[in-house]
Amino acid sequence: MDDIKINLFKNEYKKEAKHPSYTNKKITISQDIPAGVYEGAMWGGKTEKGTPMVSLKLSKPQQQPVRSDDNDDIPF
């Protein structure tokens, strides 16, 4: 699975606290997303036109190497 990147733009129509601060009505995900635990990251910024936005990236967590407690391979 490739990383999934989603852009959300400032909601210019927000009138009440319960309304979302950022939205995007045209998110397209072109691949199946398997169930599981993902790493998430978010960046704030602005579009080329100056509209505030955030970018969200979801990634599968990196596998940690399995450590062996067997010290027989250490030459010292």
**pLDDT tens, residue by residue, 12-21:** 999 999 999 9
Q: Is the whole-model pTM more than 0.75?
A: no
Residue 8 φ/ψ, nearest 5 degrees: -120, 135
Q: What is the mean pLDDT of residues 13-33?
A: 91
* Structural domain spans, the chain: 1-25+37-61
CB 5 within 8 A of CB 27: no
Return the exposure string of 3-38: e unless at least 16 CB atoms fall within 10 Å of the residue's CB, then b. Answer: ebeeebebeeeeeeeeeeebeeeeeeeeeeeeeeee
Mean pLDDT, rounded, of the chain: 85
